[in-house]
């Protein structure tokens, strides 16, 4: 049948236009009612033509984001299909990132799959010997373990974070040794009140009832020996919270103001009647109704000092 042979030969014809393979529809094919050939959206180099998603993707799936993740060549398309097949084959036993509405069980499954220990105690960390003092607080470490476990951190991540923290501590320690003044200036406002309280307690223990008067004598010694301003502030900043210095200043003040050089000045017993009377006079001058109104704390302290002075001045009463 020559005519059928001709039709078959014509149906197999193709032409190349601009390097692109295009199926050519023949008149015989149309005449015989066979389906018309469609244009190929694959170039000879394997790349996909512009608009392939609009023409090749089935209407039921058009617009799905999975097609946007595919590259513009056949190789990428096949790779994407392979990845999808792997994910589907692992359904129920694979690793899937839990979404916003994931259950606690789903999150735990995911965290376990990426290496999180079953319990916070599973995180182990050994601090360098020179930094052990900073990591010997088990309460702090347990809080860190709890927090890291809650967000799903695996063992490698935990070790990395703790190592970075240790390195930071080590660097800070080295900087502190090299140039301690910036750290001292930052800490001093917090340390000074503590040292002052400790100094006062130490002096109260040593001086007993004579504390108020001897404390005033120490201040007067500093006032007489220094000029008001930077010189005095520097002295107080360096020695003001040292109980030994305060005791020395009070003793020197009393020795300087005693009537004879042979008087024992320890613990306030070296004060002469003249010294006590002078101090009582000063206290009385300061004990005004204005002070009571404006600075009740200072007023009450002077009342106590006055009582102690009277006990020293008149021990028989």
Nearest Cα neighbor of 158 from 118, 110, 111, 124 is 124
Q: Under a CB-based contact definition with an 8 Å cutoff, are residues 304 and 212 in contact?
A: yes
Q: Cβ contacts of residue 96 below 8 Å, gap of 6+?
A: 106, 110
Give bridge partners of residue 42 from the DSSP assignment. Answer: 48
Q: How many CB atoms lie within 10 A of CB 250?
A: 28
Q: Under a CB-based contact definition with an 8 Å cutoff, are residues 74 and 48 in contact?
A: yes
The angle formed by the CA atoms of residues 250, 232 and 217, to the nearest 5 degrees, is 20
Q: Under a CB-based contact definition with an 8 Å cutoff, are residues 310 and 271 in contact?
A: no
Task: List, for residues 28-69, the tens digit of each pLDDT value.
Answer: 444 444 444 557 888 888 888 888 888 888 888 888 877 777
Numbers of helices and strands, H then E, in the chain: 14, 2
Q: Is the pLDDT of residue 9 over 50?
A: no
Task: List, for residues 110-149, the tens digit of each pLDDT value.
Answer: 888 889 999 999 998 888 887 787 787 888 888 989 999 9
Is the alpha carbon torsion for 56, 58, 61, 63 positive or negative? positive
Q: Look up the pTM and report it.
A: 0.40
Mean pLDDT across 200-222: 80
Task: List, for residues 84-113, the tens digit of each pLDDT value.
Answer: 776 666 555 556 778 888 888 888 888 888
Check residue 46 and give its pLDDT. 82
Per-residue pLDDT band for 153 (boundaries 50, 70, 90) equals very high
Rounded CA-CA distance 204/266 in Å is 14
Q: How many CB atoms lie within 10 A of CB 221?
A: 20
Question: How many angstroms separate the first and last alpha carbons of the chain?
Answer: 151
Mean pLDDT across 182-203: 86
Q: Under a CB-based contact definition with an 8 Å cutoff, are residues 12 and 6 in contact?
A: no
* Mean residue pLDDT across the chain: 75
Rounded CA-CA distance 157/99 in Å is 22
Long-range contacts of 279-285 (CB under 8 A, 24+ apart): 279/213, 279/216, 279/217, 279/309, 280/306, 280/309, 280/310, 280/313, 283/309
Secondary structure class of 16 (helix, strand, coil): strand
Give bridge partners of residue 21 from the DSSP assignment. Answer: 16
Rounded CA-CA distance 48/168 in Å is 52
């Amino acid at each position: 049948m020559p005519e059928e042979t001709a039709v078959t030969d014509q149906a197999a014809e193709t032409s190349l236009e601009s390097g692109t393979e295009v199926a050519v529809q023949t008149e015989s094919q149309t005449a015989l009612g066979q389906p018309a050939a469609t244009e190929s959206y694959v170039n000879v180099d394997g790349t996909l033509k512009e608009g392939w998603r609009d023409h090749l993707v089935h209407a039921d799936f058009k617009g799905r984001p999975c097609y946007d993740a595919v590259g513009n060549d056949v190789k990428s398309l096949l790779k994407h299909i392979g990845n999808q097949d792997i994910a589907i084959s692992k359904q129920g036993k694979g690793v899937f990132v839990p979404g916003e509405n994931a259950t606690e069980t789903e999150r735990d499954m995911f965290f376990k799959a990426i290496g999180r220990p079953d319990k916070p105690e599973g995180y182990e960390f050994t601090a360098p010997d020179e930094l052990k003092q900073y990591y010997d607080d088990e309460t702090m470490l347990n809080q860190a373990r709890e927090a890291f476990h809650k967000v799903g951190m695996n063992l490698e991540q935990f070790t990395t974070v703790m190592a970075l923290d240790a390195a930071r501590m080590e660097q800070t320690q080295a900087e502190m040794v090299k140039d301690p003044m910036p750290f001292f200036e930052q800490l001093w406002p917090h340390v000074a009140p503590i040292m002052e309280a400790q100094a006062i307690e130490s002096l109260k223990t040593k001086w007993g009832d004579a504390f108020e008067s001897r404390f005033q004598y120490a201040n007067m010694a500093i006032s007489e020996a220094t000029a008001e301003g930077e010189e005095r502030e520097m002295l107080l900043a360096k020695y003001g919270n040292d109980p030994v210095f305060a005791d020395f200043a009070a003793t020197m003040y009393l020795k300087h103001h005693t009537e004879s050089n042979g008087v024992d000045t320890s613990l306030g017993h070296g004060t002469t009647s003249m010294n006590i009377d002078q101090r009582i006079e000063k206290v009385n001058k300061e004990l005004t109704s204005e002070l009571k109104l404006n600075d009740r704390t200072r007023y009450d302290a002077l009342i106590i000092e006055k009582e102690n002075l009277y006990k020293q001045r008149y021990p028989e009463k």
